Structure 1
Amino acid sequence: MTTLGLPQWFLWASASAVFAALTAIFAKLGLKNIDSDYATFIRTVVILVALACFLSYTGKWQDPSALSAQNWTFLVLSGLATGASWLAYFKALQIGDASQVAPVDKFSVVLVTVFAVLFLAERPSMREWLGIGLISLGVLTLAWRR
């Protein structure tokens, strides 16, 4: 299904980018005079409450026993990776400029592609590799200091 001639995944990914950008700005403002790890905890509690409300409102709660061992394993690993990413991100935001930290954090786009090739057998096109190369160049440009 498309909206405005754009694939639905693109619209959701664009919304994610907008919210991720706001996350950096709000977090930078909220990290003043507070430990970054404690700030990550507060953020996590807010997310838990918000998601519980959303799942209740939409009726999307599921029986946890219906999940497979593979579901549990990879969702737990994803949660641990998310937590580690948030801790590192908030620490970086606390000591660096949001305009520098956020673009370097988005190097994850490059890493996702590399990991998808290695672990998911995905095969990006030459055009996609060019885009990934440009993102890499942009991150290096932003990280490089004179």
Structure 2
Amino acid sequence: MSWLIYGLLSALFASFVAILGKVGIKGIDSNVATAVRAVVMAGATLLFITCNGTIGQVRDITWKPMMFIVLSGLAGAASWMFYFGALQQAAASKVAPIDRLSIVFTLILAAIFLKEKVTLGIAAGCVLIVVGSILIVKA
């Protein structure tokens, strides 16, 4: 499967996270809901790598990649704690566009730390994402 199909499927399932999460956190502490979700995600991903035969590769990860994977996991956990907290306080249709500003932050951080090129088109796209998020939230 190509990166584009993976990306579109990621976006589709991310939209289900917002909708199902919003329904699921009614009357439940958002941090507790996030913890339960994390356990389910860990179990599902372990099952997936077991079924596709790649679970043995976990022991082959050296310390430096592991450090960055762990830091990425911590950043993801923080993201989801804040995301579910926001969902508990606001409509999913308001929270999701703000959360998707991560695209803009990612492009900026990729330019700074990964030395990825920022073209005029990328800059214009970022501006449109920000403006679009504002328009959706203000609607």
Aligned-pair identity in percent equals 38
- RMSD over aligned Cα, in angstroms? 1.5
CA distances 1:47-99 after superposition (whole Å, capped 9, x unpaired): 11111111111001134442222101111110110000000000000110000
1:133 aligns with one of 118, 123, 127 = 127
The TM-score, its normalising length taken from structure 2, stands at 0.94
- 1:84 paired residue number: 78
In structure 1, how many angstroms separate the alpha carbons of the residues matched to 2:57 and 2:120? 42
The TM-score, its normalising length taken from structure 1, stands at 0.89
Aligned length: 139
Does 1:45 pair with 2:39? yes
Question: Unaligned 5+ residue runs, structure 2?
Answer: none
Q: Give 1:144 deviation, angstroms.
A: 4.2
Comparing 23-32 with 124-133, which one deviates more in the overlay?
124-133
CA distances 1:29-56 after superposition (whole Å, capped 9, x unpaired): 0001100000001101111111111111
Q: Give 1:10 deviation, angstroms.
A: 0.9
Bigger helix share: 2
- 2:8 paired residue number: 14
Question: Unaligned 5+ residue runs, structure 1?
Answer: 2-7
- 1:120 paired residue number: 114
- 1:73 paired residue number: 67
Does 1:61 pair with 2:94? no
- 1:5 paired residue number: none
